[in-house]
Chain A
Amino acid sequence: MPKIAIPTALRRYANEQAAVTVEGTTIKEALASMTAQFPDLQKHLFDGEGKLRSFVNVYVNDEDIRYQQQDDTPISDNDDISIIPSIAGGSGAESRAADALPDLSKDEIARYARHLIMPEVGMEGQRKLKAASILLIGTGGLGSPLGLYLAAAGIGRLGLVDFDVVDKSNLQRQIIHGTKDVGRPKIQSAKDRIGDVNPHVQIDSYELALRSENALDIVKEYDVIIDGTDNFQTRYLANDASVLLGKPNVYGSIFRFDGQASVFHPAAGGPCYRCLYPEPPPPGLVPSCAEGGVLGILPGIIGVIQATEAVKLILGEGEPLIGRLLLFDALKMKFKELKLRKNPDCPLCGTNPTIKELIDYDQFCGITPPAPEVKTEAAADSWEITPTQLKARLDKGDKITIVDVREINEWHISNLEDYGSTLIPLGEFQARHSELNPDDEIVVHCKMGGRSAKAYGILKNAGFTKIQNLKGGILAWADEVDNSMAKY
C-alpha cells in the first residue's frame, strides 16, 4: 500500500510517525485515508472548504501534483508521496502547527483588533505573524515603509541590515529616519522608530554590509527575506543566499518614477532574480538613485507592496507575486504585470545549477577600481585628479576645460561655472564630444565620479589624451574645496 511521508512539524498529529500507510488510487483518496486515521492533520492541511492549504505542497515521486492532475493525480503502491510545506522547506512561520504558535497577550489583542476580526488573519493568522521572522536588507527608501508597516502588523522578529548613516538627502523618502537622526547610524534610528511603533517586535540589528562571508549565516535565521538594497552586488547576493537556503525573497526596486516588485521563490516553483536578469549591467550604465534621482513617494508605494507580499506569504493567504513582475509607472499611474518564467538554464535555480555557493559579487558586477590605462600628458600622471589638486592647478592659472556630465537639474543645485565649466550630460556625450578640443586639457566630473568615468572612456575612445576624471565628483569638491557649496 502507498505511504505518505509526514514533515517533522506535523508528526505530532500523526502519532510521531515519519510515514503513514494509506489506501487509495489517487492523491485525494490517499489524503482522505490519512486524515481518517489521524483527524488532527485535517485542519493543518486543509482549509475550511476542504481544499489543500496554499502552503502545502504534495509531491509524488518528487513531482509536484499541481503540475500533474492535482488531487486526481493517480498513485500506485510503489510511489513515494510526500507532504512539504512550501516556505523555507518547512521552517516557515505559516507552516507552524497552530498550537505551536505563540499566544497573544491582552495588550497585543487590543493592538491587533482590526486584524483579528478579518477572516484572512484572525487569531491564528496574527499568531503566525508573531511567530514569523523577516530579514530587511537595507533600511533606506524601501526599508523605511517596510520596517514601519511590518512592525505595526506584528511581525515577531525583524532583522535589519544596514551600515550607512542617515544623511540629510535621505529624508526626502526614508521616512523611518527623522531630521534629528542625521549623522546617526540608520540601524539605530530605525530601531528607535520601530520600538515606538510596536514594542512587541524583537529587532535584530546587523550594522554591517551584507557580504558573501556573512550572508548565509544571517539569512538562515529568517523565514522571509526582503530585498530593499540600492545596488546590484547586494541584489545578486540577497538572491543567491535566499535561493541556496530555500527562502522566499521579496524583491522591490525603484528609479525616478518607475518601480518593480516580485517574489522570487524557486523552492515554491517560481523563478529567481537571475532568471530575469542573468547578468548585471556594466557599471555606470544604469544610474543609481543617488545619480538619477527618485521620486520620494515611490519607495513608499513599492515598499508597501513588498510588505503586503511578505505578510501574505506568512499567512499563507492569497496569490503571491511568485512568477509575476509588477511594474509601476507613477507618471502614468499604471500598474503592469509580466508573467515570468523560470529559466531552465539558470546557473542558480535551473536544472543543472553551476552556482552552489556564494561568489564574489563585486567582481561579478564589475566593481573593481579602474586601472589607469592611459597616462595623460597632463601634469598629474593619473587618470584621476582630486578636487584639491584641481583647485591648486586652477589657482596657478593653468588652462583646464572643466566638463560637467550631470543633468541640468543637478547643475542648478551646484556647479563649477565660476571655473568656466561646461555642461554636457552623459546621455548627450557621445553626440556632443566634438564640441571639445582634443588639444585642451580636460577634466570631466559628475556628482560622485561614476558617470564622468564613462565620459572619460568615451573621450579616450575618441582619441582624446589629455583627460582626467575628478575623483569623488562635485560632492568631493564641496568637501575638500568649497564648504559653502550645496550637497545633494
Chain B
Amino acid sequence: MKINVLFFGACREAISTHEYALALESPAKVVQAFDALCQTFPPLKNFGNSLLFAVNEEHSRQDDPIQDGDTLAIFPPVSGG
C-alpha cells in the first residue's frame, strides 16, 4: 500500500522534504510508517517522542492503524511566542 506523508516545521527543514510517497506492507500502524521514514530520512530519529502525528487530519498515536491512500502529517512542536 502507499501513503502520502507531509512534513512540517523543523522536520521539513531537517530532511529538506515537504512531501513523500511511502510504500508499506499492509496492514500497518503509524509507528511502522514512521520507522520506515526514519530509514529513508535518518535525521527524523533525532525528534524522538516529541512529534505529533495526524492521519487524514485527525490526531493519531503510534499504535493507530494507517491504510492505503491515507495522508500522514508529521508536526514537530513549536516553542516560539
- B-binding residues in A (CB < 8 A): 138, 140-143, 227-232, 235, 252-255, 258-260, 276-282, 285-289, 292, 294, 299, 325, 327, 336-341, 343, 427, 430
Contacts and interface: CB of A to CB of B under 8 A. Distances in A.
B62 to A, nearest CB: 10
Given A278-B49, A282-B48, A427-B13, A289 B80 contact: yes
B79 A231 contact: yes
Specify which of B10, B60, B75, B78 lies most central, judged by the most chain A CB atoms within 10 Å of its CB: B78
A276 B59 contact: yes
B77 A140 contact: no
A235 B75 CA distance: 17
Nearest to B11: A286
A230 B80 CA distance: 4
Interface in B47-81: 47-52, 54, 57-61, 73, 75-81
Nearest to A233: B79
B81 A228 contact: yes
A98 B27 CA distance: 56
User: 10 closest Cβ contacts across the A-B interface?
Assistant: A289-B80, A281-B50, A230-B81, A279-B49, A253-B78, A254-B80, A286-B10, A255-B78, A277-B77, A340-B59
Specify which of A143, A232, A286 lies most central, judged by the most chain B CB atoms within 10 Å of its CB: A286
Contacts of B48: 279, 281-282
A294 B67 CA distance: 36
B80 to A, nearest CB: 4
Contact of B61 (A252, A287, A343): A343
Contacts of A281: 10, 46-48, 50, 76-77
Contacts of A276: 52, 59, 77
A285 B78 contact: no
B81 A337 contact: no
B58 A279 contact: no
B59 A287 contact: no
A259 B81 CA distance: 10
Contacts of A231: 79
A254 B59 contact: no
Interface residues of B, number: 28
A294 B80 contact: yes
Contacts of B73: 338
Given A255-B9, A279-B48, A260 B78 contact: yes
Interface string B28-43: 0000000000000001
A279 B52 CA distance: 10
B64 to A, nearest CB: 9
Contact of B46 (A260, A280, A282, A294): A282
9 contacts: A232-B79, A253-B80, A282-B46, A286-B9, A286-B76, A286-B78, A325-B52, A338-B54, A339-B58
B50 to A, nearest CB: 4
A228 B61 CA distance: 26
A285 B10 contact: yes
B44 to A, nearest CB: 11
B81 to A, nearest CB: 4
Contacts of B59: 276, 325, 338-341
Contacts of B50: 277-282, 285-286
B12 to A, nearest CB: 10
Contact of A286 (B16, B52, B77): B77
B8 A258 contact: yes
Given A235-B79, A292-B80, 8 more contacts: A231-B79, A254-B80, A281-B10, A281-B46, A281-B47, A281-B48, A338-B59, A341-B61
A456 B51 CA distance: 25
Nearest to A298: B80
A278 B59 CA distance: 13
A252 B48 CA distance: 23
B14 interface: yes
Contacts of B79: 229-232, 235, 253, 255, 286, 288
A450 to B, nearest CB: 12
A299 B81 contact: yes
B77 A141 contact: no
A460 to B, nearest CB: 15
